[in-house]
Structure 1
Amino acid sequence: MNKLLTVSLALLFIISGGCGLNKEVKVLKLGHGLDTKHSVHIAMEFMARRVKELSNGKLKIEIYPGGVLGSERESLELLQLGSLDMTKVSTAAIEGFVEEYKIFGLPYIFKSKEHAYAVLDGPLGQEILNKGEEFWLKGLCFYDAGARSFYTSTPIQSPKDLEGLKIRVMQSITSFEMVRAMGGSPTPISWGELYTALQGKVVDGAENNPPSFYLSHHYEVCKYYTLNEHTRLPDVLIMSTHALEKLNSQEKEWLMQAVKESIPVQRKEWEKSEENALKAVVAEGVEIIKPDKQPFIDAVAEVYNLYKDNKKLWQLIQRIKNADPALKTEEE
């Protein structure tokens, strides 16, 4: 997004009063980079309707999808300025602001989807959401973004099949070390340039969740999708503390009730989008491989040592590993 346009939008929001235009109706502006058909946007629309219903129109949420207000990083910066009220980002985007979010990029930090939900929905998840407050970024909830797996031009049954392959990764040291530990060659490439890079064999594969694999059309050049499910990077609904402080206790209660009710809506929509994506890529000739995950888990064990000298993050990692998937709390 053009930097001048972003600054202009920020100034416009500041001039218009940010959180609300008059005393009778408060309006929260929510910007995100997703398509309107995405499960998170659908959940946000539900949340906006519920806020309006609960407050009898006294509190409203205006949603600006498709990145019209900027990238994820730009949106976070607008929240810090108080020029935007709410946004949705990946934990990978916010880890540059709040280091606790780095742990979500660790491979197999979650044993299963149920384990992830137990952590994210419980007191430990709330603890992490609260960590951003000192940076003016209050986490409201986690949304499901599924598990990331490898898709390549050659079949991957085990880590040894990644040896010598160039795999696109995000700009994250954890992603680099994970692919390197499995024998691959990590190669950072922007998401927008990845299709061309795959097509031109600049890289041999990449990794992402099923809907992203399908919607990006990467299945056209990568005919093997290995569901090794190495990471589960959730999305986070973030609110500016500047905006939150402008709400009274009743308005906060309305907002948080709507947020809480939006979580199962998003997860149900996400589950449908995953199923539809996998069916669609199979129809396009992609072979789905369901490997034994243990060799992948064993291969990346040393990646955790990245944070061994960081006492705060190391203790957080141990608490997540010990969380009981059957309970929304962690075992001490």
Structure 2
Amino acid sequence: MIASRYPKTILSATITIFALASGNALAEQNINLKLAYAQNAQPVKDALALFGELVEEKSNGSITVSYFPDSQLGGESELVELLQAGAVDMTKVSGGLMGSFSPLYDVFSMPYLFDDEEHFYRVMNDEEIMSDVYQSTQDQGFVGVGWYDSGQRNFYMTNEPIEQVEDLAGKKIRVMQSQTAIDTMKLLGASPVVMAQEEVYTALQQGVLDGAENNEFALTAARHGEVVDYYTLDGHTRIPDIILISNRVIDSLSDEQQTAVMEALEESTQSQVEHWREAITTARTQIQDEFGVTINEVDIAPFQQAVQPIYETLESTPEELAVYQQIKAVSTQ
């Protein structure tokens, strides 16, 4: 059962943090949470919808959720700004973006960080690791309260597959606005191009880019499979999605409502993880059968070796080094 594989480790710690942040909880009142998110794969959308249903049920109707989906209010950077401004109450963004707000999140963007999927889940459910990371943005008006799986990021290319590190030499690869992502591409020999996700399809089509890197849904839901020919399963990063909530909302919740929020989030994460796996299997079939894209695997050892210098930089950032050491301490290997 999935519930037994992903234990309730974050829940009690985060509720305690909520209590510390809000002091004496206010009297329970009816609250409508404005939750905005950018374009996402269906398992994420379904999990966010499930959260709304569960939190209303668990709070006896005192908490409801209004949704602003699919970038209605802007991209992920804009959504965090709206969260800080009080225009929205919650959002879900990539952990890659979160490095712009707290360097602790940058560790999760480091290449080939996790041994495998199980190692990733152990880390994300580890109270000692995640509570400090989640709270690292508290002075900016918001904190993390949970996570969703966003799979592993792989290379997809227009003209030739990536079969060895040398194949990336000089290739123009789209990356997120993340210094770690930029540095990773440079160490692999590629030329990183920072670009908004909505511009990638046209850039691939017109030859501005040789390739990009993302999970399977970039090829299916965003239909990048129409303009690329190869998808290489190197799994260079496995970056979580992070669910954020404003301090202002925390201060308005009673103890019972805090519990309802956290339990609803945890259950929605359990559901999302399970459905994500199923959806990835379906997406890989679609990538090959519908879009005609060739999927290939590689020996990642040479790729891991090429990016080792990025780990040497951790020696100059003690807090990030501590998070990295915690992650490796729960390794599955």
TM-score range, shorter chain: 0.7 to 0.9
Quote the offset at 1:208 in angstroms.
0.6
The CA distance in 1 between the partners of 2:172 and 2:153, in whole Å, is 17
| Corresponding residue for residue 263 of structure 2 | 257
Q: Is the 8 A contact 1:82 1:243 kept in 2?
A: no
Aligned pair in 2 of structure 1 residues 186, 69: CA closer, same or farther (>3 Å)? closer
CA distance in 1, matches of 2:66, 2:227: 38
Query: Which residues in structure 2 correspond to 1:1-332 (within 5 Å)?
Result: 24-35=29-40, 38-123=42-127, 124-152=129-157, 153-283=159-289, 284-325=291-332
Distance in 1 between the 2:209 and 2:306 partners? Answer: 21
* SS at 2:137 equivalent: helix
Q: TM-score, normalised by structure 1?
A: 0.87
Name the stretch that deviates more: 42-51 or 69-78: 69-78
Q: Is the 8 A contact 1:92 1:233 kept in 2?
A: yes
Which residue identity is paired with 2:74? Answer: G
Query: What percentage of aligned pairs have identical amino acids?
Result: 35
Partner of 1:145: helix, strand, or coil? coil
- Secondary structure of the corresponding residue to residue 177 of structure 1: helix
Q: How many residues in Structure 1 have an aligned counterpart in Structure 2? A: 304
User: Aligned letter for 1:52?
Assistant: E
Distance 1:253 1:212 in 2: 35
> In structure 2, what is the Cα distance between the partners aligned to 1:79 and 1:189?
23
For residues 318 and 57 of structure 1, what CA distance do their matches in structure 2 show?
Answer: 42
* Aligned partner of residue 136 in structure 2, secondary structure: helix
SS of 1:61's equivalent in the other structure is strand
Q: Is the 1:116–1:325 contact (alpha carbons within 8 Å) kept by the matching residues of 2?
A: no
The Cα shift of 1:206 comes to: 0.9
Deviations 1:59-89 (A, max 9, x none): 2122221122232222212222233211101
Q: Distance in 2 between matches of 1:289 and 1:179?
A: 19
Q: Which one is further off, 90-99 or 249-258?
A: 90-99
SS, match of residue 146 in structure 1: coil
2:24 corresponds in structure 1 to none
Matched residues in 2 for 1:166 and 1:78: separation? 32
Aligned AA for 2:101? F
| Cα deviation, residue 24, structure 1 | 4.9
TM-score (norm 2): 0.87
1:207-243 CA-partner distances (Å, limit 9, x unpaired): 1101122222222221111100000111011000111
Q: How big is the alpha-carbon RMSD for the aligned residues of Structure 1 and Structure 2? A: 1.8
CA distance in 1 between counterparts of 2:309 and 2:61 reads 53
Change (3 A) 1:254 1:219: same
Provide the rounded CA distance (Å) in 1 between the counterparts of 2:54 and 2:199: 38
For the 8 Å contact 1:227–1:289, the answer to whether it is kept is: yes
Matched letter for residue 144 of structure 2? G
Residue type of the alignment partner of 2:66 = E
Residue segments in structure 1 that go unaligned for 5+ positions in a row: 1-22, 327-332
Any stretches of 5+ residues in structure 2 without a counterpart? 1-27
Mapped to 1, the partners of 2:83 and 2:177 lie a distance apart of: 23
State how far apart, in whole Å, the 1-side matches of 2:53 and 2:183 are. 43
- The range that moved more, 240-249 or 154-163, is 154-163
- The separation in 2 between residues aligned to 1:95 and 1:240, in whole angstroms, is 18
- 1:6 is aligned to none
> Residues 98-147 of structure 1: CA distance to partner in whole angstroms, max 9, x if unpaired?
22111111101111111111111112123211222222211111100000
